[in-house]
Amino acid sequence: MNIESFRSYCLSKKGVTEEFPFGEDTLVFKVMGKIFALTDVELFESINLKCDPEKAVQLREEYPAVVPGYHMNKKHWNTVLMNEGLGDRAIGGWIDDSYDLVVASLNKALQSQFNAL
């Protein structure tokens, strides 16, 4: 997966925006204002994705390219190293999981806004 396909995939999801809140190098994707994915836009060596804590540990044990989230809460975030030969299908599934996890955690007001989109 390259940066263009990663960006397109994230933006294709309902309620998603892209921002640069941490500086011009860090591209952040949010659903209803909540982060679910981020990457260095220049290097695109890795992506950070939110993950269920139990699944996060499982993925780290199964895939050498999945490590605890860099500069993130390591219990809830994984960093996926993009140059390690992972398939687009696996990465896309992990993006979906991150997005779904964030959507499920939205408060009632944001859920209502999300559902109205």
Mind listing the pLDDT tens digit for each residue in 35-55? 999 999 999 999 999 999 999
60 contacts 38 by C-beta, under 8 angstroms: no
* Residues paired with 39 in a beta bridge: 27, 47
Which domains are present in the chain?
3-105 (3.90.1150.30)
37 contacts 29 by C-beta, under 8 angstroms: yes
* Vertex 58 angle, CA 53 and 59, to 5°: 95
Q: What is the mean pLDDT of the chain?
A: 96
Give the residue-averaged pLDDT of 13-23.
97
Whether pTM > 0.85 for this model: the answer is yes
